[in-house]
Structures are given as structure tokens and as C-alpha cells.
């Protein structure tokens, strides 16, 4: 049996006011191709299917198209909700969709949902845990848990797991490894170091834990506890991390191997550094000019309409940052009152100028400033 682990589609997402629908459609087509090449039997979608609780029409249509294509090729799809999803909306058609091998666990109803598959003489249990909060579980089960970890631990301990069978858990939680936390990006929301942490050792009874929630693909604690990562880069903090799809292969009653298929976007998200002249004249390596870029300008002088100029080269520029002597590592300006009283106005302003701009004041600036002080002094 071959299994595909995906998470954090965030369909309908906008990044810096750019709609990602076209990019998402492109990457989902690529995933469909990977599913055929890898002869995938089961596709796991581990939460944050949509970017908003009330998804756009385009997002709903794109998910419908993707699921229909998977169904045409005989794939079984397992889907759980994430913290960005509306459990009620994602649950629409759940009973009906099961006839088409689409199993949705969008809300926790008292116990973990389970999908059972057979591989030879081996039973494979897919346990499905949508995003949960302790307050909801406490009310539903009439229990009292104070943290996410305590809550999830209770749910796992009250689930009958047969260790002689293969057990795979789908979950959308903030899973950590002791004091080690996952590498984060700017595009997900997590309360760090708080009560929402769930330690990976809670999942020791599972052969594989398919996680959603964190956008950079990575393992936590052991290779088989893994964040699938988002299908696209959704912030510039992710530019150095490629996206991937995780492929699991089960044979002879055990997890035989884990492989990774790189996801190549329609437009990459990356950084470009240089002066405005170097960018406009092609004096630096520009790469694909259709990419989503953050341009880091190193000019010392002020640039009028910088983004308008850059957009002539990079039409999909999302951000512009300045890095020069004025903006890199600004020093803290602090001086004791006694020291200030001992210096004249010219010396004070000259020191302030140097600390603020990281360059000394020029002769012309000094002469102009001196004339201003003299005029004011009259």
C-alpha cells in the first residue's frame, strides 16, 4: 500500500494581497501527477484545507475539482479539519461522500474516527483526530484537562490501539519534542511555549503520525512523527525550505520506507538583493522574473517610487526592504544628562546624526547646520 501525506493546503489564501488560487491549482495538478506515478492508494489531508472558516467560492471549487480527480483514479481520501477550517462547513456531505471513498473527520464527537484498510493479511488503522481544544473536549466528555497535551493524552489513552496492527494517526496540533520546538515560519499562528504544546511521546503507540499545522516540513522527536508542511511557501520566512509530499510504503505488515517528492511551484517565493541600478540593468542574477520576490535594496541614497521601478523587472514583487548604513543594525541612542550638558548643540547634533545614519556628517551639512544654529541663536 502506498500512502500520500499532505497538509496545510490553505486554499483561497492571499499573500501580501496576491491571490494564490492559480498557484494552488498548479501545485494540486502536480500532486495528482505524483499520486499516479507513486501508485498512491490513500491520500491523507491533515488539516487547514481552507485558509478561512468561510472559504471563497474559488477555494471551494478548487477543492471540489481536486477531490473529483482523486476519485476518478480510485484514490481513497482521508481529511481532517485544522484550526483555520470551519468544522461544520467541512463536514458537509460527510455521510454521502463515504460512498466515493472520501472520509472527513471535521469535528471530534467523543472518540477518534477510524478508517480501516487491508494490505494482505495486515490491517491498517488510520486514526483521524481533527484540531481540538481542551475546552471543547472537556465539555463534550465531561472531563477536566488543563492543557492541550493533557487533553490529547487523555484521548489517546482512551483509544483501543492494537499494537499487532499498523496504526497511523492524522492530527493537526502543535507537537514538540521535549524542549525542542518545530522550526516555524511567519505564515502560521502558534502560541509558543504555552499550554498548546503536545509532546511527541504521547504518540509512541503509532507507527506513523501525519501532522499538519506547521508549514515547514520536518520531523519531531522521531522520523515517523512528521509535519507534512504546506503545499506552497506562504511567507518569506520559508524561502530557504523546499516543499514536499511524503510517500509512505507499507509491505509485509510493516512500514517499509518513507520517501519525499519535491513540489515545484508555478512561481517560487524568494529574495533578491542589490541596488536599484543593478536590478534595472540586469547586473545581478535575476532568475525567473515572474517569481514572488522580496527585493532588498542596498542603495544609500533615497529612491523615489522604488516599488514602481522594481515592478518593471519583477511584476510580482511583494515586498521591498532597505538595507544600508542607515537601516542595518541601528544603534541605540543613549546619553547621560550630565554628558549632554557638557556638549554644545553642534556637537550633540553631530553625534546624533552619526549614530542615526551610521555615517559622519559631511562638510556641506555641517556648514548648513552651523548657519541654522547661528540664525536660531539670534
pLDDT in tens, 304-351: 999 999 999 999 999 999 988 766 554 444 555 555 555 677 777 877
Scan for cell 545581478, then name that residue: 284
Q: In this structure, are residues 130 and 78 in contact, taking their beta carbons and an 8 Å threshold?
A: no
CA distance 233 to 228: 13
Q: In this structure, are residues 89 and 54 in contact, taking their beta carbons and an 8 Å threshold?
A: yes
CB within 8 Å of 78: residues ≥ 6 apart: 42, 43, 44, 45, 103, 105, 115, 126, 128, 170
H-helix or E-strand spanning residue 260: strand 254-263
- The confidence score (pLDDT) of residue 64 equals 97
For each successive 10 residues of the chain (378 residues), what is the average pLDDT?
Answer: 98 97 98 98 98 97 98 97 94 90 96 93 95 96 96 97 96 94 81 73 97 97 97 96 96 88 98 96 95 95 92 97 71 52 72 67 81 76
Q: Are strands 42-46 and 76-80 parallel, antiparallel or unpaired?
A: parallel
C-alpha distances out from residue 55 to 14, 21, 113, 127, Å: 12, 12, 25, 26
Cell reading at 120: 494482505
DSSP class of residue 239? T
- The confidence score (pLDDT) of residue 256 equals 80
Q: In this structure, are residues 77 and 84 in contact, taking their beta carbons and an 8 Å threshold?
A: no
CB within 8 Å of 377: residues ≥ 6 apart: none
DSSP class of residue 286? -
CA distance 79 to 77: 6
- The confidence score (pLDDT) of residue 331 equals 47
Cell reading at 210: 501525519
- The confidence score (pLDDT) of residue 193 equals 47
CA distance 268 to 271: 10
CA distance 4 to 12: 22
C-alpha distances out from residue 308 to 296, 300, 373, Å: 14, 18, 39
Q: How many Cβ atoms are within 10 Å of 144's Cβ, its own excluded?
A: 10
Amino acid at each position: 500500500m502506498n500512502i500520500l501525506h499532505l497538509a496545510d493546503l490553505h486554499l483561497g489564501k492571499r499573500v501580501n494581497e496576491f491571490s494564490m488560487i492559480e498557484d494552488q491549482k498548479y501545485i494540486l495538478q502536480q500532486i495528482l501527477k505524483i499520486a499516479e506515478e507513486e501508485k498512491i492508494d490513500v491520500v491523507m489531508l491533515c488539516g487547514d484545507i481552507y485558509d478561512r472558516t468561510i472559504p471563497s467560492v474559488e477555494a471551494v471549487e478548487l477543492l471540489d475539482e481536486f477531490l473529483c480527480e482523486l476519485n476518478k483514479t480510485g484514490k481513497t481520501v482521508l481529511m481532517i479539519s485544522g484550526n483555520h477550517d470551519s468544522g461544520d462547513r467541512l463536514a458537509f456531505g460527510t455521510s454521502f461522500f463515504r460512498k466515493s471513498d472520501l472520509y472527513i473527520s471535521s469535528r471530534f464527537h467523543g472518540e477518534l474516527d477510524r478508517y480501516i484498510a487491508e494490505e494482505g493479511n495486515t490491517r491498517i488503522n488510520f486514526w483521524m483526530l481533527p484540531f481540538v481544544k481542551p475546552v471543547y473536549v472537556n465539555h463534550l466528555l465531561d472531563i477536566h484537562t488543563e492543557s492541550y497535551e493533557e487533553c490529547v493524552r487523555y484521548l489517546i489513552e482512551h483509544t483501543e490501539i492494537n499494537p499487532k496492527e499498523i496504526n497511523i494517526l492524522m492530527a493537526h496540533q502543535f507537537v514538540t519534542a521535549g524542549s525542542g520546538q518545530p522550526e516555524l515560519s511567519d505564515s502560521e499562528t502558534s502560541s509558543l511555549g504555552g499550554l498548546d504544546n503536545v509532546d511527541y511521546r504521547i504518540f509512541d503507540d503509532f507507527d506513523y503520525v501525519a501532522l499538519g499545522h506547521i508549514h515547514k516540513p520536518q520531523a519531531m522527536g522521531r522520523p515517523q512523527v512528521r509535519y507534512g508542511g504546506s503545499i506552497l511557501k506562504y511567507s518569506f520566512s520559508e524561502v530557504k525550505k523546499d516543499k514536499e509530499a511524503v510517500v509512505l510504503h507499507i509491505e509485509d505488515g510493516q512500514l517499509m520506507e518513507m520517501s519525499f517528492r519535491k513540489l515545484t511551484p508555478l512561481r517560487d517565493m524568494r529574495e533578491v538583493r542589490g541596488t536599484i541600478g543593478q536590478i534595472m540593468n540586469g547586473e545581478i542574477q535575476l532568475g525567473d522574473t515572474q517569481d514572488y520576490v522580496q527585493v532588498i535594496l542596498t542603495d544609500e541614497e533615497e529612491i523615489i517610487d522604488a516599488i514602481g521601478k522594481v515592478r518593471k523587472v519583477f511584476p510580482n514583487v511583494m515586498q521591498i526592504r532597505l538595507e544600508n548604513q542607515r537601516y542595518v543594525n541601528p544603534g541605540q541612542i543613549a546619553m547621560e544628562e550630565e554628558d549632554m550638558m557638557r556638549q554644545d548643540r553642534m556637537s550633540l547634533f553631530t553625534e546624533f546624526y552619526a549614530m542615526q545614519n551610521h555615517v559622519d556628517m559631511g562638510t556641506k551639512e555641517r556648514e548648513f547646520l552651523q548657519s541654522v544654529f547661528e540664525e536660531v541663536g539670534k
